[in-house]
């Protein structure tokens, strides 16, 4: 397992319980957008990659035939399994798997979903190639991830800030790069949407990872570097003691071609 995979497991094993209860992660428009993009008919075999504690899998499961929910972190899957049982969801199975190497036959799913996780992936092109491989012809890939504005300065700023706070953050891409990578994999992009995640309270976000005071101050200073226009991009809202912000999100619906290629 790579160093990045270890960092991800470390980070998410410590926070599985917290994550499952987090409204910042469990709410916001992105679940509804993916369900809407997927247009489920009730017959689909779905793969939810990097399911975490299962928010995406739980939203889509009642609308499809079956969901296979995978993640790199066993502690997150254990929590997801517990919650699925509590909710009486019986058409989900859970498997440990990395997004870059999926333990499934080619053309075995109708729909692949992935929500707010690829910025942790070590190798996004491999994740996309694997997603494409496991989808049947005409299958759908519906994804949402935190994204960066199309500005070199903000791409660097946002990734620096995210990585400072959470070492398991790898890279967040702007929409233009997502489009390029998804198209190069062989998908046709059919829909896109820009939104924001739920509003995040700075003190909650910066302290959550058990970060030391100096690091929290470094993060606060980084936000102070933003111009007023840049603050608007991140919906920064200040009150007396704290401030709030929201990361931009990129959602996409992409389709695999209906033509079978030999070897895939």
- Which residues of this protein are in contact with ligand SAM, per CB under 6 A? 8, 12, 25, 50-52, 55-56, 71-73, 76, 98-100, 115-117, 120-122
Helix (H, G, I), strand (E, B) or coil at 36: helix
- Based on CB atoms, which residue is closest to ligand SAM, 98 or 226? 98
CB of 110 to ligand SAM, least distance (A): 19
What's the maximum distance between 2 C-alpha atoms anywhere in the chain? 62
Q: Given the complex with ligand SAM, which of 115 and 256 has the nearer CB atom?
A: 115
- Closest to ligand SAM by CB, 73 vs 131, is 73
- Min. distance of Cβ 68 from ligand SAM in angstroms? 13
Residue closest to ligand SAM (Cβ): 52
Q: Give the strand pairing for 248-255 and 135-146.
A: antiparallel
Give min distance, CB of 162 to ligand SAM, in A. 11
Helix (H) or strand (E) holding 32: helix 30-38
Which of 96, 95, 67 has the alpha carbon at shortest distance from 5? 96
CB closer to ligand SAM out of 168 and 174? 168
Closest separation in Å from C-beta 239 to ligand SAM: 26
Please name the residues in contact with 216: beta carbons below 8 A apart, sequence gap of 6 or more. 206, 207
The least distance separating ligand SAM from the CB of residue 56, rounded to whole angstroms, comes to 5
195: exposed, middle or buried (Cβ count in 10 Å: 0-12, 13-18, 19+): middle
CB of 80 to ligand SAM, least distance (A): 9
Residues in the chain: 264
DSSP per-residue letters across 72-111:
S-HHHHHHHHHHHHHTT--SEEEEE-BTTB--S-TT-EEE
Residue closer to ligand SAM (CB basis): 64 or 72: 72
CB neighbour class for 199 (10 Å; exposed up to 12, middle 13-18, buried from 19): middle
102 vs 226, beta carbon nearer ligand SAM? 102
Q: Give the rounded distance of the alpha carbon of 151 from its chain centre.
A: 21
């Amino acid at each position: 397992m790579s160093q990045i995979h270890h960092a991800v497991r470390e980070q998410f094993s410590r926070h599985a319980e917290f994550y499952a209860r987090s409204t910042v992660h469990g709410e916001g428009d992105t679940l509804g957008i993916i369900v809407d993009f997927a247009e489920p008919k009730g017959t689909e075999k779905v793969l939810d990659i990097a399911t975490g504690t299962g928010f995406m899998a739980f939203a889509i499961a009642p609308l499809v035939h079956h969901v296979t929910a995978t993640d790199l972190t066993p502690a997150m899957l254990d929590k997801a399994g517990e919650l699925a049982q509590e909710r009486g969801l019986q058409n989900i199975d859970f498997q440990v798997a990395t997004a870059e190497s999926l333990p499934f036959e080619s053309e075995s799913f109708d729909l692949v979903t992935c929500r707010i996780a690829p910025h942790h992936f070590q190798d996004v092109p491999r994740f996309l190639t694997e997603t494409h491989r496991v989808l049947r012809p005409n299958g759908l890939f519906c994804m949402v991830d935190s994204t960066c504005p199309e500005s070199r300065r903000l791409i660097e700023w946002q990734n620096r800030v995210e990585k400072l706070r959470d070492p398991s953050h790898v890279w967040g891409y702007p929409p233009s790069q997502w489009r390029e990578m998804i198209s190069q994999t062989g998908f046709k992009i059919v829909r896109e949407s820009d939104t924001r995640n739920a509003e995040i309270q700075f003190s909650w976000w910066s302290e959550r990872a058990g970060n030391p005071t100096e690091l929290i101050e470094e993060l606060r200073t980084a936000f102070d570097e933003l111009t007023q226009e840049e603050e608007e991009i991140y919906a920064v809202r200040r009150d007396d003691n704290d401030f709030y912000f929201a990361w931009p999100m990129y959602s996409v619906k992409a389709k695999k071609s209906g033509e079978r290629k030999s070897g895939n």
